[in-house]
Amino acid sequence: MKPLTLTDVVAAEFAPETTYLNTSSIGLLPRRTVETVKATAEQSATGQGGADAFDCVFAARSSFARIVGVAEERVAVGTAVSVHVGLIAASLPAGAEVLCPEGDFASVINPFAVRGDLKMRYVPLEELAESVRPGTALVACSAVQSADGRTADLAAVRAAAAAHGARTLVDATQAAGWLPFDAGLFDYTVTGGYKYLMAPRGTSFLTVTEEAQESLTPIHAGWLSGEDIWNSTYGPVEQLARTARRFDEPPPFLSYAGAEHSLALLEEVGIENVRAHNTALAARFREGLVRLGHSPVPGESPIVATAGLTDKLDALTAEDIVVSVRAGNLRASFHLYNSTADVDRVLDVLGG
């Protein structure tokens, strides 16, 4: 199959009625995803849905596995990042040290913090790798920071963790879908599906190495976590899945019916192509901000957070430009359905 160009994708799959620069909050759904969810809902209303509803979950799991470079046997599906992180938090012994960046997204941190019997330690993102020490049990961080788009030095974190016998947890929610990412390099990764993966809310993914799987108790295990699903419906499940599927949450089928098609679209386009497109738009925006007299905003991610512009939110909203305010900054985030015209439009408004 000839790869789709981004122009093809935007024309066929997206029809935004705003200048939408807010993927870091929630991604736009492709048309194919919306149509599938509608059709699946109609089937449920007319009694046509059946056992094949599971097929979309299997397809989404396989597609996500390919996108992040692991075997599908290492992928568990779920509904939210915090639930996956809670599963990992429940596995740690009392007194274990968890090292996190200051100000990372709450879903990565809070499941550990609320236990009350773990040693939480927070350091600046740029000091994360050098702060791993003997006795650190787990290093947990986002690959790309939600608040401002900064990227973690994951290679250094991984090396430091390995040197001290610590495990690693990486939240790829703001990375998967635009940043080529090898989930197999980390003990655990978690990813929300509704941002750069452009899947419906209620989809998320957990990857676990084979070794790390032995440390987790599948506390969500119901009949769907059985090795033989249809013979696990009553009584204690005799044999849990031998793969990471034993850590699945019960999946919301409507959300996964859509996710299958959103992820397939990203595979058709190619993550490297999405990366080149997104980062070029962000670079154009950064350059434009400098021309308007603002201090340079460092970084290469498609998330650009600018101090001193939060008072422009109302003016942007009045012009149907959708951005967000996070951590005291105006945050614009670019994805494959955006264009240079979108960048120039927001710069025009910011420039008055």
Quote the pLDDT of residue 313.
Answer: 96
Domains and CATH numbers, the chain: 6-28+270-350 (3.90.1150.10), 44-268 (3.40.640.10)
Would you state the structure tokens that stand for residue 247, as one six-digit string?
Answer: 């850590």
- Sheet strand arrangement including 303-307: 303-307, 329-333, 324-326
Would you state the structure tokens that stand for residue 281, as one six-digit string?
Answer: 């738009």
For residues 127 and 143, is the Cβ–Cβ distance under 8 A? no
pLDDT digits (tens, 9 = 90+) for 265-277: 999 999 999 999 9
Quote the pLDDT of residue 4.
Answer: 64
Would you state the structure tokens that stand for residue 17, as one six-digit string?
Answer: 């009625």
How many other CB atoms are there within 10 angstroms of residue 83's CB atom? 16
Phi, psi of 42 (to 5 degrees): -65, -40
Residues of the chain predicted below pLDDT 50:
none
* Rounded (10°) angle between helices 271-291 and 253-269: 80
Q: Is the pTM of this model over 0.85?
A: yes
Locate tokens 């109609």: which residue? 42
First to last CA, the chain: 45
Quote the pLDDT of residue 115.
Answer: 95
